[in-house]
Amino acid sequence: MNELVAGGNVPLPDGAVTLRVPGPFDLSVIVTGDSGKVAGDGDFVFYNQPATSGARLQGDTVTVDGRRLRPGASRVTVAVSPAEPGTPLGRLPAIALQVHGPGGLLVARFTPPRPDRETVLLLAEIYRRGPGWKLRALGQGYADGLAGVARDFGVDVAEDEATQPPAAAGPPPRAPGGRPPTAPAGPPSPLRPSSSGHPPAARTGPPRLHPSAPAAPDGFLGLVNAARASAGAPPVSLDARLTAAAGAHAAGMAARSTLSSEHADGTSLYQRVVAGGYAYLAMGEHLVSGPRTPADFVEYCLSGEQSRRTVHNRAYTHVGVAHTADARSGDVYWTALWATPFSPQGLAEWASAVLRLTNAERTAAGLRALSPDPLLTVAAQGHSADMIARAFYSHTSPDGGEPWHRASAAGSTHRAIGENIACGQRTPAEVVDGWMNSPGHRANILKPSFTHLGVGFAGGGSAGTYWTQLFGG
């Protein structure tokens, strides 16, 4: 496996390769010839147009088969942008590209330098060299969204002047390593084919579009929202991505006649949710067999204290629910997914809560409070995301990186470094409580010589949540 840096390249095996970027991101694909320009509408692949000859986008994964690209195609460029339009990439978890060959063999990884104000990053390109294909790591940032990328690749950009706010005085800001924005972003509009026969038109910051939310089983939403109202919780709304994941999971449980949070292939329910395009901050689930009707299912969910707490959780804003009958036994298998969507603000609030709770423990022990450290936070956030991206759970990363290596790479100059990690805990209070009940983790929290703290969190992977505390002193 090759760990690439910007500009590095690696030969690709024959056949289809997959490129995956987990997290709250959208992927886009631009197919070009030697000229570096698109030939038509079909050369720009994104969530509104997810496939073309030789390239297909599905969730957080792009599959490219050089043998099936259109005639004349010699390059496939992969771009990453925030799932929430207009969000600077610097506010989101670290970007980690994984490249797999046929059979799932990991070919390469690329973690680009952390962006700042950029809203799109050209991540990598697959290009023809003689009879074979190679992959090059890029890491080029754009501050003006997909519109800037589209222009550079020969896509016409339609701008609605009436929606653009006045330009600020002075020269436009330039993102590090990127290009200046052409204008402040106006209300977003999707990429779409133009009536003049030109390649698809683009607008700054296209929205993420999802299918219309399917109807819940009869009466379900009304029943759960009535129960939430009785507990003083706001209503939840159906989310199509959660419902699709719930449906696939319920069908998998029915096919195996067993309740489980994993699919037959070992994929977790949380991985399926993230792969379906839903990035979450918090998630709860009900996996139940037996109830025949939505009313019976909701009654069961309200019957136990822990189960009822999930239904009443004020933090959840979205729900997805589905059921499938076991064809052999007739038993009905239900999956309900409750979630709080990821947002940069929500992530910051959770990190602040972990710091506050940690400092409460230090104060109770007569120690001085830790100060938040942005560089340690970058390293901690990157490690939480990396544990999901590379499917490991350890202080030592697969390439041998240790906590002090990550802190130094982020620019920290602290001489003493300590790290706590955890997975599976649902809230800041739960994770800090767990650390305090573990002697080794407790020792880090109460170490007198530590003065600063960075906190990282990411949702997904096999355990559902991954937490990191990085201490400095």
In tens, the pLDDT along 410-424 reads 999 999 999 999 999
The whole-chain average pLDDT of the chain stands at 83
The better pLDDT of the pair 446, 190 is held by 446
C-alpha 260/C-alpha 278 separation (Å) is: 21
232: pLDDT confidence band, cut at 50, 70 and 90?
very high
Query: What is the DSSP annotation of 134-178?
Result: EEEEEEEEESSHHHHHHHHTT--B---GGGPPPPPSSSPP--TTS
445 has pLDDT over 50: yes
190 has pLDDT over 60: no
Q: Where are the alpha helices (DSSP H) in 117-267?
A: 145-152, 220-230, 240-256
User: What are the residues whose beta carbons fall under 8 Å from the beta carbon of 160, sequence distance 6 or more?
Assistant: 186, 189, 203
Q: Which residue has the tokens 């760990």?
A: 3
Q: Would you say the pTM of this structure is higher than 0.75? A: no
198 has pLDDT over 50: no
Please compute the mean of the pLDDT values over residues 30-57 and round it to a whole number.
83
C-alpha 179/C-alpha 451 separation (Å) is: 39
Q: Where are the alpha helices (DSSP H) in 206-313?
A: 220-230, 240-256, 269-275, 294-301, 305-312
